[in-house]
Structure 1
Amino acid sequence: MEKIRAGVLGATGNVGQRFIEMLSKHPWFELTSLAASDRSAGKRYGDAANWRLDSKIPQDAAGMTIVPVDTEKVNADIVFSALPADLAKTVEPEFAKAGFVVASNASAMRMMKDIPLVIPEVNPEHLGLIDVQQDERNWDGYIITNPNCTTIMMTVTLKPLMKFGIERIYISSMQAISGAGYDGVASMAILDNVIPYIEKEEEKVETETRKLLGEFDGGKIIDAPFEVSASCHRVMVIDGHTEAIWVEMSDDPFPEEVKEAFMSFDPGLSDLPTEPNPVIEVKEEKDRPQPRMDRNIGGGMTVSVGRIRPGIRYICMGHNTIRGAAGASVLNAELLKKMGKL
């Protein structure tokens, strides 16, 4: 099978490195362009990137020359964007207008009415917005986004609970420091500490969840009718966001019914290379899930849940830079290919 040419925008950063790790041996995609800031452009990737992941830098990527973030310089059919939000807001539309498919992890475009915000297991039908987007903006390409890392983990677990009639959701997150980037939280700030505020995080969780679980009527997304209340906190964990979730549902299910809904959840995407099996893993131990022990299940793409109690209350946890970032965009791209949109 001929592989699809793939580029990474913002290739030297934390999420950019995850993209390269996941794409370097992907069966469907071939890395053909690595783009970064002007200070890195022209250098070998192995020389310019301060590789921070546990895995070794892929040799094919290490030898590639970094190009500017420019539609004329990037050689690809699809670009995976790890750009900062302020830059993504202007750059991603330029790439879509020039005919590229843009699979974005950035927050800049997520809530725009004609931009699909997608988790393949949750709302693949929202990809219908691509036609709306191209018609309204007169673009040859298009942009598809994945949600905030905290939102992704929670919403994957909410999808199988929709049948019980969700009325209100409360979430308290304990978020890993890698979510802020390598230099995002000073060691003197996080050591021996919990930081009870992450800028704009609560707003993202509260709005993105309703769009994801909303209805596509053929022209727009009608947000889900329930309310989401979030409190987000940074904790001294390297990778893996843990979330305490309370869900009020009209059917008032028993914990065993919720557990069964989690365990039987099968979105039918097992043919996608990055799709984990299971999507949701129920932990029976009374003190699980835990980031250090559970974040790498399913290659970092499985969401773990545990402590399902009356109410309904439970804990969910997932790898924030894999399932919550780069892996989410890669899975979206795989879905696009499956649906014939690449």
Structure 2
Amino acid sequence: MIRAAILGATGAVGQTFVRLLSRHPLFEVVSVVASERSAGKPYREAARWLQAETLDPIIGDLVVQDVHASPDCEVVFSGLDASVAGDVEADWARRGYAVVSNARNWRMDPTVPLLVPEINPDHVALIDRQDWGSDGFIVTNPNCSTIGLVMALRPLHDAFGVEAVHVVTMQALSGAGYPGVASLDALGNVVPHIGGEEDKMATETLKILGVLEDDGVRDADLVVSAQCNRVPVVDGHFEAVSVRLKTPTTPEQAAEAMRSWRSPLEDLTFTTDLPAPLVVTDDPAAPQPRTHVNAGDGMTATVGRVQACPAMASDGRGVKFVVLSHNTVRGAAGCAILNAQLLHAQGRVQERVEA
């Protein structure tokens, strides 16, 4: 087993880490870390448990530690808020920990991998360019809205080349954390602004789809324009995407490229079966958050309504589709856990060897 600590364990993302890791065959949660006001309390008392599954009693009995703790573990998962994550994660890396973060603070650092494991696993090599004065390092996963987009774009970029993307998001309330959006703002309404989200989608996509070179990642040569909206859906970020390709193609060819795309993780050995990262449906009324958000235990992105898009290109290079992904699983804690599994498969995080 790999012993794990969770930073920001009482928050919405931290609780998702707790839920997913409590039944994971590779990881054992040995430490939960939160703010000073929670430190010293049993986790079950410090956290207002919001997950649908019952809290694991072993983790519930763990005493919450503050951010200066030094637990005996091999990996640290960070669900910290961005307002504090930067300095705290850097401190843990300096102290020799492998930090796998969901926060935005280090995503665009040129030495820090911004990973979706099936999309750009080679970017893990950026770790070798980090220097924290220890064996520690930081790995990040992207914004929850970026993840669904890049999972759909990767096969198209590989097969045809992508020149430009316009994406309109309809993002779930759970993406705002707890207590999140006020009920009178959310119910029966659409909020057409999520601070910083559109910029993240534009910049993160270019880094993730970029090429690893000797001097770092060269951003992908494409343009992303995003419009982000909060809608009254509990879980699941839904995105309407229009793409201009470099090579003319039909909607059928574009759909087949996504269907037949092969994850590079298939060449590695993992301790668990990996769900399909991407599925394409022909159902004209799919995907929908209510029925498709938990595909692959929340780790599968679902694409539907693949059509020609003459507005993007009139010469057969335009395609449009919708994509749905689970924002707190695939888009947050689940992706970070898969990042840690990738680090283990590559030998960068080792299991504890008992004497």
Give the alignment's TM-score, normalised by structure 1: 0.96
Whole-angstrom CA distance in 2 between matches of 1:319 and 1:288: 15
Q: Pick one of 240, 255, 259 that aligns with 1:259.
A: 255
Whole-angstrom CA distance in 2 between matches of 1:29 and 1:233: 35
Q: Pick one of 119, 138, 146 that aligns with 1:151.
A: 146
1:213 is matched with 209
Q: Is the 8 A contact 1:46 1:62 kept in 2?
A: yes
Cα deviation for residue 155 of structure 1 reads 0.3
Cα deviation for residue 87 of structure 1 reads 0.5
Number of residues paired by the alignment? Answer: 337
2:187 is matched with 191
2:320 is matched with 313
Counting aligned pairs with the same residue, the percent is 44
Q: Pick one of 56, 77, 81 that aligns with 1:80.
A: 77
The letter of the residue matching 2:338 is L
The letter of the residue matching 1:88 is A
Q: Pick one of 142, 152, 175 that aligns with 1:179.
A: 175
Identify if the C-alpha distance between structure 1 residues 178 and 274 changes in structure 2 by more than 3 Å, giving closer, same or farther. farther
Residue by residue over 1:123-154, the C-alpha shift from the partner in whole angstroms, topping out at 9 and shown as x without a partner, is: 111111100113xx434200000000000011
Q: Is the 8 A contact 2:25 2:272 kept in 1?
A: no
Q: Is the 8 A contact 1:110 1:117 kept in 2?
A: yes
Structure 2: stretches of 5+ with no match in the other structure: 310-318, 350-355
Moved over 6 A (4+): none
**Are 1:231 and 2:227 counterparts?**
yes
Q: Pick one of 101, 104, 127 that aligns with 1:107.
A: 104
Q: Is the 8 A contact 1:274 1:301 kept in 2?
A: no
2:120 is matched with 123
Q: Is the 8 A contact 1:275 1:301 kept in 2?
A: no
- Within-5 A mapping of 1:1-342: 3-70=1-68, 72-134=69-131, 137-162=132-157, 163-270=159-266, 271-272=269-270, 276-311=274-309, 312-342=319-349
Cα deviation for residue 275 of structure 1 reads 6.2
Whole-angstrom CA distance in 2 between matches of 1:114 and 1:26: 29
C-alpha RMSD over aligned residues? 1.2
Residue by residue over 1:183-211, the C-alpha shift from the partner in whole angstroms, topping out at 9 and shown as x without a partner, is: 11000111111000000000000000000
Cα deviation for residue 288 of structure 1 reads 0.7
Structure 1: stretches of 5+ with no match in the other structure: none
Q: Is the 8 A contact 1:10 1:82 kept in 2?
A: yes
Q: Is the 8 A contact 1:164 1:249 kept in 2?
A: yes
Q: Is the 8 A contact 1:274 1:330 kept in 2?
A: no
Whole-angstrom CA distance in 1 between matches of 2:248 and 2:77: 41
- SS, match of residue 269 in structure 1: helix
Whole-angstrom CA distance in 2 between matches of 1:232 and 1:99: 37
Residue by residue over 1:1-41, the C-alpha shift from the partner in whole angstroms, topping out at 9 and shown as x without a partner, is: xx111000000011101101111121111111000111111
